[in-house]
Copies of this chain bind each other. A is one copy, B any other.
Amino acid sequence: MQDGESHLGVGIGDFIFDLHLAAGNGLLDALDSALRHACTAPYLNPLMQCGNGAVSQLRRAVMLLMTEGTDATQIKILEKLLIPREGAVLRKPVQVGNYTDFYASIDHATNVGRLFRPDQPLLPNYKFVPIGYHGRASSLILSGTPVSRPHGQTKPPSADLPTFGATKQLDYELEVGVYVGTGNSLGHSISIESAEEHIFGISLVNDWSARDIQAWEYQPLGPFLGKSFATSISPWVVTMDALAPFRVPLAPRPSGDPAPLPYLSSPAGAAAAIDLKLEVHLSTQAMRDSAQLPVQLSSGNLRSLYWSFAQMLAHHTSNGCNLLSGDLIASGTLSGPEEGSQGSLLEISHRGTTPFKLANGEIRSFLQDGDEVILRGFCELPGLPRIGLGECRGIIAPPIAHTHE
């Protein structure tokens, strides 16, 4: 992007290949006009509507331009449209119409269930239904936007009556989201076999949560204001074809677990999961003041999901619900089975009952003002170029005085 206008771009090393300028300078003239036109939009949505086949075509065209012998005029144009990443201002990549959040990590569901229902951590539906709920689309914010500590109504179990004030249990949730490419029309479903064709790409998502607000409000209709104050998304969207070398089968279900119902059964041998490494880092105000690097809170891998994104899409549309291009479908908090792989402070501090010490001696059970949470995700395999999802960052700002408008 430049001139205050948002431009779409493809990340290549330390540069961004400006798709808008490329289309404007005739470098994409071999592509079909809808696809070329989509390259000049300020958001990815028109490109998403073109379908994954078209997106792969575009990717190949860009790679060709970057690698093939080109004449002096073309080199001059290429120099103009390769923008250094450093200094580029990144903006929200997608206009998200609808945001759905799943609960597809069985380790997360078990960890959280154990805190609230020690006798029955996993509810009877979990292994049959990819559990999900509608999130709030309006409060999706770009990585780097500060998150003001929200107010809300809370009632600790020890209190007789609820009170209203700033949350004392502010938390992050490490998630990965997929964006819908082509959608489906109302009344028709997306089959498990064709679900991947409807997924444009993936990003990092931090579904900030106020645990005390959530605990008091969530029955019987689920999370609401404990989540809807902010959800951060990373600026880069990695398309599915770029992830192809890192696709792996979903982990086999433990013996004794039911097989998914037919409408949720992936074709045999499908590489339904993604071998994507994930990390959560924390930078506190004190660390920044003393020029210390962020500390790692956890690490995990997206392949530990119990339900694949294809299963989530097939389930989501099994009742005929229509997905739109640009809709965001997130995994839910990603936790693994190992120690050190829990994707939220709720799990790490056991709902605040076991505060833990950071390397610099500070203590945390939930987030404090000035804390910056940094999510990172990347695919790497020997002999293959590393694919990074970039970062999803957010710093906790003090509560805004409860001012009204």
Residues of A within 8 A of B (CB): 97-98, 103, 113, 123, 125, 128-129, 131-139, 141, 148, 150-153, 155, 161-164, 184-191, 193-194, 210, 213, 216-226, 228-230, 258, 261-263, 315-316, 318-324, 327, 400, 402-405
Bound CA span A188–B230, Å:
12
- Given known A-B contacts A136-B134, A153-B128, A403-B188, A210 and B319 have beta carbons under 8 A apart: yes
Asked if residues A164 and B318 are in contact (CB atoms below 8 Å), the reply is yes
**CB within 8 A of A222: which of B133, B150, B153?**
B133
**CB within 8 A of A225: which of B136, B148, B315, B400?**
B315
Asked if residues A225 and B152 are in contact (CB atoms below 8 Å), the reply is no
Residues on B with beta carbons closer than 8 Å to the beta carbon of A132: 221, 224
Other than A125-B155, A162-B261, A225-B319, give 14 A-B pairs with Cβ distance below 8 A. Answer: A97-B137, A98-B138, A133-B224, A134-B136, A138-B323, A139-B186, A139-B321, A150-B320, A153-B318, A163-B261, A220-B222, A221-B223, A222-B222, A225-B318
Residues on B with beta carbons closer than 8 Å to the beta carbon of A186: 138-139, 141, 229-230
Q: List 6 A-B contacts (CB under 8 A).
A: A150-B319, A151-B318, A164-B318, A189-B403, A194-B404, A221-B223
- Given known A-B contacts A129-B216, A222-B223, A405 and B188 have beta carbons under 8 A apart: yes
Bound CA span A123–B103, Å:
24
Distance in angstroms from A331 CB to nearest chain B CB is 13
Residues on B with beta carbons closer than 8 Å to the beta carbon of A123: 219-220
Distance in angstroms from A172 CB to nearest chain B CB is 16
Residues on B with beta carbons closer than 8 Å to the beta carbon of A405: 184-185, 188-190, 194
Bound CA span A324–B134, Å:
17
Bound CA span A135–B189, Å:
19
Asked if residues A151 and B225 are in contact (CB atoms below 8 Å), the reply is no
- Given known A-B contacts A187-B148, A188-B400, A129 and B217 have beta carbons under 8 A apart: yes
Distance in angstroms from A318 CB to nearest chain B CB is 6
Asked if residues B318 and A133 are in contact (CB atoms below 8 Å), the reply is no
List 5 A-B pairs, minimum CB-CB distance, nearest first.
A222-B222, A191-B404, A134-B134, A150-B319, A133-B221
Asked if residues B153 and A129 are in contact (CB atoms below 8 Å), the reply is yes
- Given known A-B contacts A217-B125, A261-B164, A139 and B222 have beta carbons under 8 A apart: no
Residues on B with beta carbons closer than 8 Å to the beta carbon of A323: 138
Bound CA span A133–B134, Å:
8
Bound CA span A113–B320, Å:
28
Distance in angstroms from A101 CB to nearest chain B CB is 8
